[in-house]
Structure 1
Amino acid sequence: MSRMIFVNLPVADLGRSRTFLEALGAVNEPKFTDDTAACMQFSDSIFVMILTHEKFSGFTPRPIADARTGSEVLICLSADSREQVDSFIERGVAAGGTADPSPKQDYGVMYGRSVANPDGHIWEVMWMDAAAANEGASAIDTNATQEA
């Protein structure tokens, strides 16, 4: 069975958040978009639902966390190269985001940066060398030790 992932995020300004995600490469799915929510598609199986605070509150009895002062989720997108990681961050900043709220990660075989969207949600972008990915976490741990 093929599975899809839907990440649901509360946002203060739906238009601004949609612009931010489009800058990162997401495409709007109009069948599930209105003035309270937008469905943003990253791939055939990964979607981000951005919801106004009022709409989001209809799905949970808990208060909406302030992503600028606490961490609720880290979202990580993959990239095809180190240069593409940097390009994602630049486009996110141009669309109203803040670059590198988390420290850059450079382990040689893995490179990652982050950008916070206008609501403070942190979007990580990561590239990993294909050979290192096949080796798993040990390749990253070994390289991190060698770089220290």
Structure 2
Amino acid sequence: MHKQIIFNLPVKDLEKSKAFFTAVGFTFSQKFSNDQAAFMHIVGDDIRAMLMTETFFNSLINKPVVNAKEGNEVIICLSCESRAEVDSLIAKATAAGARIPHPPEDHGFMYDQGFEDLDGHLWNLVWAETGV
């Protein structure tokens, strides 16, 4: 049935957002990118995001674009293979200009921390023991 997850995010400055996510470690498909949108690989070919200029994003919907720095509708959660991977991605995001909304949470069987990207979208990185 469904083979991929692709979510669309409005961004204020496409080039700055591409630079930010490249610094975090994500890559982009030039084939499906232009001056209005950039197709970002997050986890292989299965999970991707389309970063869209606010103008282009707004042309696809019939309501205002939410300012994610003022309110959020979703938190994007990515699983990680280890605590070290969570910490590494947080360090890269911080170095690229992310805001860290809370300290890491260590529950023993699960470890997570999040960051806010340049446009205010929240990303949570989680490692959990298998079988949980």
Same fold (TM over 0.5): yes
Structure 1 unmatched ranges of 5 or more: 137-148
Question: In the aligned structure 2, how far is the partner of 1:46 from the partner of 1:119?
Answer: 20
More strand by share: 2
Spell out the pairing of 1:1-148 with structure 2 (5 A cutoff): 1-42=1-42, 43-99=44-100, 101-102=101-102, 104-130=104-130, 134=131, 136=132
CA RMSD of aligned residues (A): 1.3
Count of matched residue pairs: 131
Q: Would the aligned equivalents of 2:24 and 2:96 in 1 still touch at CA under 8 Å?
A: no
1:120 CA displacement: 0.6
1:23 CA displacement: 2.6
Q: Would the aligned equivalents of 2:76 and 2:123 in 1 still touch at CA under 8 Å?
A: yes
Letter in 2 for 1:9: L
3-state SS, counterpart of residue 76 of structure 1: strand
Q: Cα deviation per residue 1:103-130 (whole Å; 9 max; x = unaligned)? A: 5322111000001001110111010112
- Taking CA–CA contacts closer than 8 Å with sequence separation of 6 or more, which of the two structures ends up with the larger relative contact order? 2
TM (norm. structure 1) is 0.83
Structure 2 unmatched ranges of 5 or more: none
Structure with max Cα Rg: 1
Q: Cα deviation per residue 1:20-71 (whole Å; 9 max; x = unaligned)? A: 2223332100111111100001221111100001000011011111111111
TM (norm. structure 2) is 0.93
More helix by share: 1
Question: In the aligned structure 2, how far is the partner of 1:37 from the partner of 1:2?
Answer: 23
Percentage of identical aligned residues: 40
Runs of 4+ in 1 over 6 A off after TM superposition: none
